[in-house]
Amino acid sequence: MTAITTKLWRTPHGAVALARGSEMMALWCTSPAIVLMLATTLAPFCAVLVLSLTDYELGDLTLNWIGLANFARAIRDPEVRQAVANTFVFAGMVVPSAVCLALFFALLVNSRTKSRRLYELAFFLPITATMPVMSLVWSFLLHDRIGPITALLQFFGVPTVQFFSNPTIILGTLAVIAVWQHMGFCFIIFLAGLTTVPAELYEAAALDGADRGWEKFRRITWPHVAPTALVAVLLTTMRTFQVFELVAVLTQGGPAGRSQVILYKTYLEAFSYFRVGYGSALTLIFVTIVGTISLIQLTFARWNRAA
């Protein structure tokens, strides 16, 4: 078979035939994954795109083509505007806090030897826990009457704080819980990135007198960890914009819509009010927002790397 294959490769037609055979074999092997991707990603997206241009409501036997009316309605809807604003404010509090805290703790834990595994386990636990269950735990911890945190505040003479019913602090309360959730994920990413920094660089820096904390971080650690930080920011941003369980379990968008986020608003329109067409339009708006932010972050990272 090797000799025959070699002879075929020496002729133009044989080389073309073998190349086509290899392409067909590769296509045949990857076809199940392609079909699965089309069935689970592209087909639902096309369905959402079509439904967003209609007035379809769940249970109706007919639908009317209304074009971009759903998108125009979303732009005029004050609840949608508030949900988008809340989502951006929420992400603005969560993403930098989770990433910076994760980097700080990763730097501390990376220098540990005996207790490193214990810290890794402690930071990894929030990733393994399901958020709906942990939301119930947090609802007990922050309860304004029976919660242990409220009891601790009262012990020190601090007035009772309405964590989930005060419109002023409700978004901040959810942000604190989300930082706890995402910090462990970023911590694992940074800890993996820190292992790629050569130890020889730290030894050389110590000989040059640049072994102090900030100088060592700025000159050695950060140039190697910067790509990891970009990945952490991108993934945390996408996960933060997809916040749903926290709002659905703890606040249901209240009080007074101050914790309403775009994904929960989409869920209400599509599955509570059964306005599937309008909910599909909100889904596309959400995808556009997340895609645009990710593109801006990638462009900024490439520009910063080129500079």
How confident is the model at residue 25, as a pLDDT?
A: 75
CA 288 to CA 101: how far, in whole Å?
29
Instruction: Provide the percentage of residues in the chain whose pLDDT is more than 90.
Output: 41
Q: What is the pLDDT of residues 138-191, one digit of tens each?
A: 999 998 888 899 889 888 888 888 899 899 999 999 999 999 989 988 998 998
How confident is the model at residue 227, as a pLDDT?
A: 86
Comparing 35-44, 52-61, 205-214, the range with the smallest average pLDDT is 205-214
Number of residues that this document lists for the chain: 307
pTM for this prediction: 0.84
3-class state of residue 65 by DSSP: strand
How confident is the model at residue 129, as a pLDDT?
A: 77
How confident is the model at residue 19, as a pLDDT?
A: 59
CA 110 to CA 120: how far, in whole Å?
10
Please answer whether residues 134 and 180 qualify as being in contact, where contact means their C-beta atoms are separated by less than 8 angstroms. Answer: no
Indicate the pLDDT class of residue 50, thresholds 50, 70 and 90: very high
Q: Three-state SS across 172-218?
A: HHHHHHHHHHHHHHHHHHHHHHHCCCCHHHHHHHHHCCCCCHHHHHH
Gyration radius (Cα) of the chain, Å: 26
Q: What is the pLDDT of residues 1-28, one digit of tens each?
A: 455 555 444 555 555 555 566 677 777 7
β-pair partners for 178: none
Indicate the pLDDT class of residue 36, thresholds 50, 70 and 90: confident
Residue with tokens 């036997």: 61
CA 268 to CA 175: how far, in whole Å?
21
More confident residue, 207 or 259: 259
Domains of the chain and any CATH numbers: 2-51 (no CATH), 69-306 (1.10.3720.10)
